[in-house]
Structure 1
Amino acid sequence: MTLSADQNKAVHQLSKVKVGALFMEPGTGKTLTAIELINTTDTDYCLFIVPFSTKENLSKELVKWNFSRPYRIVGVETLSGSDRTYLDIISDMSQANHAFVIVDESLKIKNINAIRTYRTIELGRLAEYRLILNGTPISKNILDLWPQMNFLSPKILKMTENEFKDTFVSYVKFKQDGKWHEFIKNYHNLDYLYSIIAPFVFDAKLNLSKKQKHVSIDYSITERIEQYETIRDNFLNNFMNDPNIFIKMTQSMQMAYCDEPIKLKKVSKLIDDNTVIFCKFIRSKNTLIEAFPTTKVLTYGTGSLGLNLQEYNKIVFFDKTFDYAQQEQAERRIYRMGQSEDVTYYHLTGDVGLESMIDRNIKNKVTMLSAFKKAAMENKGKELIDNL
């Protein structure tokens, strides 16, 4: 196997410490880098904690790269749902002399109050070596760094979660309908933060010679527009300035037209054997599979993580996602090391306000929830809803 320059740098840097983070963008080969890093140690047992949907793909990768250390792969979701599995893993690790715990897609443990996070940290305490892998650059997830660094070692940051937030995050608290909400304004003291974690973090960007092209395909919502407007009007009449209601209702509005027949006609003119289609809803997926049975159809929830699809060079985004990170992950399924062609992304855009709102948020790398909280804090919630 031949490592890239960034992969070699990562192995060289993190082999000097027993805990570390590979914050390498999707497509830069972080799995192979992790394997090479593991091979520099004397570990006699490796535990890979990954999203359940990526277990099979990781297993294939380990076979592909002739990984020879004793190992076990467990879905991070299983840790919170199965006491028996958790106790079995503790038993396995207690018998190892130099255990190594690797957490892939480590944002899955960003909620410090979740059972999965607690158990992952506890398993990490039983290991001599600990490594986290994440495809999102650290500058996008400052607040999420604390639980990840705490997994590696509490000695890295040497501060509680609240101390971390007060040191590096500027945020505003506001109260609406009897509930307190927080809105992050910006980050500060980042040079200090980076200086603390620098010895334990390798951050790599993807640099390919291949070009990326984004194409917007407009369509009119005709057969499903009545469903959309009914949900929208009901939302306006019962609006309570509640983030949860906002997300629920906008999801329902988008699903109302997800299988608009005109969308299928547009897609039929775009696809070929080199095309992957990403959608958001099961309803969309079933419609697409029926219409295009020989085309690979994936949802953002499962298909945007862990898959290597560099044999394809086109993606059709059938439904828009509310989360720019999901779109970025999906794009990197085909734009990654090993891609031999230029790639094209087709974004289907309907003629309703919600579609424009999603596009603006994606462009500004803001989630729908963040956009709502900002509008609510500025007393522009009604204005935001009117744009739908």
Structure 2
Amino acid sequence: MAGKNNIDNDFRKLRAGVIFINDNRKRFRLTFRLINRLRGKWDYVAWIAPTASLRMRHYMRLVNDCAGRTAIKIFFFSQENISGNDWQYLKLFNLASKYKIFCVIDESINIKNTGSALTKRLQAMRHKFEYRLLLSKNPLTTSIKDLYVQMMFVNPMVFNMTETQFLHNFMPLFISENDMVKRWSEPKSEVKVLELIRPYILAWDIDNHLRVHYREYWFELTQKEKLTYEQDKNKLLSTAICGGYLTVSQQFQYYYTLCYQKVKAMRRILADIDRRGEKVVIYIKYSSEIIFLEETGLLDGYQYVIMTGTSNKNRASLLFEVDYNIMICTYKVKIPRLNLHECTNLIYFTQTFDYKDKLDILSKFSGKKGRKLRIYDFWVNTGLENLIWDNLKRKQKLLNNVCEIMSYHKVATYENLSG
């Protein structure tokens, strides 16, 4: 097991590395320990993070608290601004040209797309940074190609191959059950990839330390709902222009997501949770579903808050923490200062295509080791929902494989390094 000095020496020698730790505080503490050990070797710190994170007061407070006296030497840049704002990009470029910069990219999983402007711009100037450190709660959310793109910023010589060559070597083509040609990795390929990047992984702890009681529910459409769904689906497919695959799929999902059996089950589950006096967060995909849930009378008699992109998030967070026991939330919404440590129930009322959404949600619940969380996962037995289920389970299996491989390599955890 790598110790404190080994981690410091490895990073000092390689001048680049990756920290995969779920907990923000632990991740930032370790980051600034590395930064402070190299004091005198750099002039300023460039901290690059998602805009939503930089707008959260508790995020900025946590970074500054962990930084201590180093806080006055930090320049903050949002990933979105570097991608789409030439002035901000040039500001970072000029800073790196004039000074020795310690570059930190938080939520580095966002640079997993080789074609994005963010990825291209960061990789084009990677050589200008004195030190490069990537931080992320999770190493991947779609495939092992996520690791390839991140490591291209850390050190392109790790793989020393183009994206096409990487896919050919580690993600061969196969025919899915639906006769679709896809790329996916095999366990032996995953082992090889992690062996190559292992020297740059400084710390690893992506466990949320929850005792999850998981229950999956599958619902059938009524005959009337099936007929309506088929009519709406056929009408959409018959239009001259129906959009891309994801757009069409999401429209299909909207047609069937509000079904009678789901509402019936939700009514029973909410009653059980209310009887126990516990809190619950309900995740939905479309904000219009809130209107439907209200019209069905499902929420009658309950006090609840709504957390969407247009909500007063601070007010909703405070009400949920203090007074209300139900929060209805859309996927991807950033929740400021929310303490979910007292919430013990989670309902996925509508499914998401993005596995990262569910990983991010679970990270919000992580806290005291061993705390219990009940998850109610709602599915509707349609062809599309089965495709989503297969896709998410495949990604979950991949992440589990990666975790198992990393445990074999005995990568240092935060506790090993701070104990």
Structure 1: how far apart are the matches of 2:5 and 2:280? 34
Whether contact under 8 Å (1:276, 1:297) holds in the other structure is: yes
Which of 101, 105, 110 is equivalent to 2:112?
110
Opposite residue 28 of structure 2, the aligned amino acid is T
Alignment of 1:126 onto 2:156: no
For structure 2, which runs of at least 5 residues remain unmatched after alignment? 306-323, 398-419
SS in 2 for 1:111: coil
Aligned equivalent of 1:231: 232
Structure 2: how far apart are the matches of 1:132 and 1:188? 25
Whether contact under 8 Å (2:144, 2:185) holds in the other structure is: no
Alignment of 1:332 onto 2:363: yes
Q: C-alpha displacement at 1:99, in angstroms?
A: 0.9
Residues 271-290 of structure 1 mapped to structure 2, 5 A cutoff: 274-284=279-289
Alignment of 1:35 onto 2:32: yes
Aligned equivalent of 1:86: 89
SS in 2 for 1:232: helix
Q: C-alpha displacement at 1:78, in angstroms?
A: 1.7
Q: C-alpha displacement at 1:331, in angstroms?
A: 1.9
Aligned equivalent of 2:44: 45
SS in 2 for 1:132: strand
Query: Given the superposition, is the C-alpha separation of residues 296 and 153 from structure 1 closer, same or farther in structure 2, using an over 3 Å criterion?
Result: same
Query: Given the superposition, is the C-alpha separation of residues 352 and 7 from structure 1 closer, same or farther in structure 2, using an over 3 Å criterion?
Result: farther
Whether contact under 8 Å (2:331, 2:357) holds in the other structure is: yes
Residues 1-388 of structure 1 mapped to structure 2, 5 A cutoff: 11-12=7-8, 14-16=10-12, 17-25=14-22, 29-42=26-39, 43-57=42-56, 58-69=59-70, 70-96=73-99, 98-137=100-139, 141-171=143-173, 182-184=182-184, 186=186, 188-202=188-202, 204-207=204-207, 210-217=210-217, 227-234=228-235, 245-259=244-258, 263=263, 265-266=267-268, 268-269=270-271, 270=273, 274-284=279-289, 292-293=304-305, 294=324, 295-303=326-334, 309-334=340-365, 336-339=366-369, 341-350=371-380, 352-365=382-395
Q: C-alpha displacement at 1:219, in angstroms?
A: 5.6
Structure 1: how far apart are the matches of 2:3 and 2:344? 24
Opposite residue 163 of structure 1, the aligned amino acid is Q
Q: C-alpha displacement at 1:213, in angstroms?
A: 0.6
Query: Given the superposition, is the C-alpha separation of residues 348 and 194 from structure 1 closer, same or farther in structure 2, using an over 3 Å criterion?
Result: closer
Alignment deviations for residues 142-177 of structure 1 (CA, whole Å, 9 cap, x no partner) = 222222112112233333323333333322599xxx
Whether contact under 8 Å (2:211, 2:370) holds in the other structure is: no
Query: Given the superposition, is the C-alpha separation of residues 78 and 173 from structure 1 closer, same or farther in structure 2, using an over 3 Å criterion?
Result: farther
Q: C-alpha displacement at 1:260, in angstroms?
A: 5.2
Query: Given the superposition, is the C-alpha separation of residues 302 and 26 from structure 1 closer, same or farther in structure 2, using an over 3 Å criterion?
Result: farther
Opposite residue 360 of structure 2, the aligned amino acid is Q
Structure 2: how far apart are the matches of 1:9 and 1:298? 44
SS in 2 for 1:302: coil
SS in 2 for 1:301: coil
Opposite residue 45 of structure 2, the aligned amino acid is C
Structure 1: how far apart are the matches of 2:171 and 2:336? 28
Query: Given the superposition, is the C-alpha separation of residues 80 and 138 from structure 1 closer, same or farther in structure 2, using an over 3 Å criterion?
Result: closer
Query: Given the superposition, is the C-alpha separation of residues 155 and 6 from structure 1 closer, same or farther in structure 2, using an over 3 Å criterion?
Result: closer
Whether contact under 8 Å (1:258, 1:283) holds in the other structure is: no
Q: C-alpha displacement at 1:181, in angstroms?
A: 6.2
Alignment deviations for residues 166-208 of structure 1 (CA, whole Å, 9 cap, x no partner) = 333322599xxxxx96533646555544343221114624457
Structure 2: how far apart are the matches of 1:196 and 1:23? 16
SS in 1 for 2:379: strand
Structure 2: how far apart are the matches of 1:285 and 1:33? 41
Relative contact order, CA 8 A, sep 6+: which one is greater? Answer: 2
Structure 2: how far apart are the matches of 1:120 and 1:283? 38
Aligned equivalent of 2:401: none
Structure 2: how far apart are the matches of 1:155 and 1:245? 36
Structure 2: how far apart are the matches of 1:86 and 1:284? 39
Whether contact under 8 Å (2:348, 2:377) holds in the other structure is: yes
Aligned equivalent of 2:313: none
SS in 2 for 1:349: strand
Alignment deviations for residues 261-285 of structure 1 (CA, whole Å, 9 cap, x no partner) = 7636356434666322222223236
Question: Bigger shift: 270-279 or 125-134?
Answer: 270-279
TM-score (norm 1): 0.74
SS in 2 for 1:265: helix
Query: Given the superposition, is the C-alpha separation of residues 208 and 282 from structure 1 closer, same or farther in structure 2, using an over 3 Å criterion?
Result: closer
Alignment deviations for residues 198-236 of structure 1 (CA, whole Å, 9 cap, x no partner) = 211146244576511112356665696665332333366
Whether contact under 8 Å (2:111, 2:149) holds in the other structure is: yes
Whether contact under 8 Å (2:20, 2:135) holds in the other structure is: yes
Query: Given the superposition, is the C-alpha separation of residues 234 and 10 from structure 1 closer, same or farther in structure 2, using an over 3 Å criterion?
Result: farther
